[in-house]
Homo-oligomer: A and B are copies of this chain.
Amino acid sequence: MSIAIDVVGGKWKMHLMWVLAEGPVRFGQIRRKLDGVSEKVLAENLRQLEASGVVHRELYAEVPPRVEYSLTPLGVELNKALAPLEIWGDQNRDALASRPGISAS
């Protein structure tokens, strides 16, 4: 289990993988979807996912420069492996939502 946790452990990385699954997105778009993440923490998490080889950062030499983030093929496989976890959450939403510390969002 350790190796997968090294990649997606932490508060934001699984969320991030989910947002990136929707297709190439820009930094500001990601930040709007992740409620409450600071610019610094988001940048750091994206860098780590890029370093792990699951996220690709593409710089378009426009004026102003545009940067888009997307999943690599390894990242697409990772997201498939994360899908059962989402299904488990959905299936148990009612039971879990009544528990402390769970937002049911």
Contact = CB atoms under 8 A, between A and B. Distances in A.
Interface of A: 1-11, 14-15, 18, 48, 51-53, 74, 77-78, 80-90, 92-93, 95-97, 99-105
How many copies of this chain does one complex carry? 2
Contacts of A78: 85, 88
B9 A95 contact: no
Nearest to A84: B81
Given A15-B1, A92-B74, A6 B85 contact: no
B81 A95 contact: no
A81 B74 contact: no
A4 B85 contact: yes
Given A1-B85, A3-B93, A85-B85, 17 more contacts: A1-B15, A1-B89, A2-B15, A2-B89, A4-B89, A5-B89, A10-B11, A48-B101, A51-B99, A52-B96, A52-B99, A52-B102, A81-B84, A81-B87, A81-B88, A82-B84, A84-B84
